[in-house]
Amino acid sequence: MGGPVHSLHEFMLRTESITYILIAAALCAFVFFWRFLSERDDDRDHLGADRPGPGEGGHGAH
Partner 1 sequence: MQFPKVTLERPRWTPFNIVAAIVVVVGLGITVLRFTKGLAATTNLSDYNPWGIWIGFDLLVGVALAAGGYVTSAACYLFGLKRFHTAVRPAILTGFLGYALVVLALHYDVGRPWRLPYPFIVQQGTTSLLFEVAACVALYLTVLFIEWTPAALEWLGLKRARNLVVRLTLVLTIFGVVLSTLHQSSLGALFLIAPSKLHPLWYSPYLALFFFVSSIVAGLSMVIFEGALAHRYFHHKMDEAHRREADGVALGFAKAASWVLGGYFVLKVVGVAQADAWHHLASGYGAWFLVEVIGFVLLPCFFFAIGAREKNLRIVRFTAAWAVLGIVINRFNVGLIAFNYHLPSSERYFPHWMEIGISLFIVTIGVLAYKFIVSHMPILYAHPDYEPH
Partner 2 sequence: MSISRRRFLGWMGAAGAGLAAGGRAHAAALPPSGGHPDALGVLFDVTRCIGCRKCEEACNRVNELPPPERPFQDLGVLQKTRRTDARTYTVVNRYEGIPGAKGPLYRKIQCNHCLEPACASACFVRAFTKNPDGAVTYDESVCVGCRYCMIACPFEIPTYEYDKALTPRVMKCTFCHPRLVQGLLPGCVEACPSEALTFGRRRDLLRIARERMAQFPGRYLDHIYGEFEMGGTAWLTISGVPFAAIGMREDLGTTPAPELTKGALGVVPVVAAMWPVLLTGIYAINRRRDRIAREEREAAVAAAVARAEAEAKKKLAEALAKAEKDKKAAIEREVKKALEEAARARGEAPAGPTPGTPGATKPA
Exposure letters 29-62 (e unless 16+ CB within 10 A, then b) = eeeeeeeeeeeeeeebbebbeeeeeeeeeeeeee
State the binding string over 30-49 for partner 2 (x if CB under 8 A, else -). Answer: x---x---x----x-x----
- HSE (side-chain half, CA atoms, 13 Å) at 13: 10
| CA separation for the pair 62, 55 (Å, rounded) | 8
Near partner 1 by CB under 8 A: residue from 2, 27, 40, 42: 27
**Which residues sit at the interface with partner 2, rule CB under 8 A?**
4-13, 16, 19, 22-23, 26-27, 30, 34, 38, 43, 45, 57-58
Binding site for partner 1 (CB under 8 A): 9, 12-13, 16-17, 19-20, 27, 31, 45-47, 51-52, 54, 58-62
